[in-house]
Amino acid sequence: MSKPVVKRKSRFKSFTEGLFSALIAALIIRQFVVQAYTIPTSSMENTLLIGDFLLVNKFNYGMRTPDWIGIPYTKIGVDLPWFRFPALRDPQPFDVVIFRYPRDHSMDYIKRCIAVGGQTVEIIDKVVYVDGKKFPFPPYGKFTDPRIFRRDEGRFFFPTFRNLGSRDNYGPITVPKDKYWVMGDNRDNSSDSRVWGFVDHSEIVGQALIIYFSWNSHVPLSQFFKKIRFGRIGRVIR
């Protein structure tokens, strides 16, 4: 009696199937759970530095399906209907959030949430107040310009949202329902809600979690190990 013949997959076929499955799993995780981001500007210094690589939790605020498909790093593509899954919680003041830039949804921005719908924001001599109470200054936040612009000196910064003052003296302004007021921790060098206004709930992407790598591009390559900011790796973002 002959033995049954067991067909074995080729090593190449098994490898490609495994690779394809891993790729699909990675794309699902990236879209719905955790995504990596790189910090390109100084607007969140010293909480986040240029060259920091961080992981962003997309689950807390409600996973969202893709709203665009096309060629990466271009604007060639098509918009898709999308929806957001139920959130564990909404963004809260002091959260560091990733969101679609309100003036160009192809770009992601990162700032600190200052106020949510129904709260009133006012800036007096660079100090931020929410509902009349001083907003906690971030532990690694900073000011780089000793000047304090009066309320009527907005022309020395960017034109401010609704022309309600200057960079350093602004408002008061009440945040509408389902919208957020965000600002950079580098308060004198940040284009934020003072310039372009509110962030809509639909534009929120996720919450910054942890720095998993940090690269200092200003250090010469000959000092390779000094280019890596080892002290920042593993830092929880607060």
Torsion of CA 118, 122, 128, 133, to 10 degrees: -60
Instruction: Provide the H-helix boundaries in the chain.
Output: 11-32, 193-196, 224-227
Q: Running DSSP on this structure, what letter comes out for residue 168?
A: S
Instruction: State whether residue 21 is helix, strand or coil.
Output: helix
58, 111, 179, 193: the catalytic one is 111
Is residue 142 annotated as a catalytic residue, yes or no? no
Contact, 134 vs 128, CB < 8 A? yes
Q: Is 43 a catalytic residue?
A: yes
| Exposure class string for 112-142: b at 16+ Cβ within 10 A, else e | bbbbbeeeebbbbebebbbeeeebeebebbe
- Which are the contacts of 52, defined by CB distance < 8 A and separation ≥ 6? 38, 39, 211, 213, 214, 229, 232
Q: How far is CA 2 from the centre of its chain?
A: 64
Instruction: Kindly write down the DSSP assignment for every residue of 71-98, as one continuous string.
Output: -TTSS-EEE----BPPPS----TT-EEE
Q: Given 7, 9, 10, 43, which residue is catalytic?
A: 43
Residues annotated as part of the active site: 43, 111
